[in-house]
């Protein structure tokens, strides 16, 4: 057991070392912050997918698939479209291990909650945190939206895709986990329907990043412009109920 935990810790360290978002030796603090945003978002997305699947009456396998799709689906579609093989979670299995671990923990806690009122009281706030779109969840999700929009756009630019295509990869990375989830649920994807800005926020940030990149602006400043703009648009859309048409 101890050896397994050591291997998992090594995988996580390798992922941290290889996933510096901003390639700037003076941006260590920023990269550390983004590392926590990334993994918080993956864990919350996994839980959100699990609870949504359970609400649809799916068993553990079905819930695991939905959790995987919500957490990693956007990046998987991006890598397939860009021809980045193996896709990121095959190259860095800590992502898949995390989703499976969250699913197993959720199954165990859910089973214990039926037997223990104490466990049920502890588990209920976590469920509400992901289901009710609390303020904390909104902030983490909006921060992650800006991060995914940047990563998809940057990977596309690195591979030499046309400038008009790169922002599309940002939107795919940021929003297609939810699109795939809804397709599995046999319903029109929420991001395709009129509502508060989600994909639009990612698109705005991605377009700004491409414009700054084309003008030769530094990587840190370009990233921050994309990240902050996406976050602010998403938050403003929810706070003031600004809706797509």
pLDDT per residue as tens digits for the range 56-65:
999 999 999 9
- C-alpha dihedral sign at 224, 225, 230, 236: positive
What is the structure's pLDDT at 19? Answer: 55
Report CA Rg, the chain.
Answer: 18
- Residue 132 pLDDT grade (very low, low, confident, very high; cuts 50, 70, 90): low
Residue 225 has pLDDT above 70, yes or no: yes
pLDDT in tens, 139-151: 999 999 999 999 9
Residue 14 has pLDDT above 70, yes or no: no
Residue 110 has pLDDT above 90, yes or no: no
Between 188 and 124, where is the model more confident? 188
Residue 10 has pLDDT above 70, yes or no: no
Give the C-alpha separation, 92 to 70, whole Å: 18
User: Over pLDDT 90: what percentage of the chain?
Assistant: 70
Between 13 and 176, where is the model more confident? 176
The rounded mean pLDDT for the chain is 89
């Amino acid at each position: 057991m101890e050896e397994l935990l050591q291997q998992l810790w090594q995988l996580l360290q390798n992922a941290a070392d290889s996933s510096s978002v901003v390639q700037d030796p003076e941006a260590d603090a920023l990269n550390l912050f983004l590392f926590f945003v990334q993994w918080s978002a993956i864990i919350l997305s996994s839980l959100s997918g699990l609870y949504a699947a359970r609400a649809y009456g799916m068993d553990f396998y079905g819930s695991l698939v939905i959790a995987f799709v919500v957490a990693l689906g956007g990046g998987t579609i991006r890598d397939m479209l860009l021809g980045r093989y193996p896709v990121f979670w095959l190259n860095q299995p800590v992502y898949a291990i995390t989703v499976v671990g969250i699913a197993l923990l959720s199954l165990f806690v859910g089973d214990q909650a039926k037997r223990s009122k104490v466990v049920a009281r502890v588990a209920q706030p976590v469920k509400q945190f992901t289901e009710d779109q609390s303020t904390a969840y909104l902030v983490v999700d909006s921060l992650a939206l800006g991060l995914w929009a940047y990563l998809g756009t940057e990977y596309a630019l690195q591979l030499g895709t046309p400038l008009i295509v790169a922002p599309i990869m940002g939107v795919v990375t940021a929003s297609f986990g939810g699109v795939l989830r809804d397709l599995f649920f046999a319903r029109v994807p929420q991001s395709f329907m009129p509502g508060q800005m989600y994909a639009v926020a990612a698109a705005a940030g991605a377009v700004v990043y491409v414009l700054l990149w084309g003008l030769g602006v530094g990587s840190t400043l370009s990233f921050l412009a994309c990240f902050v703009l996406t976050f602010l648009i998403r938050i403003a859309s929810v706070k003031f109920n600004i809706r797509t048409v």
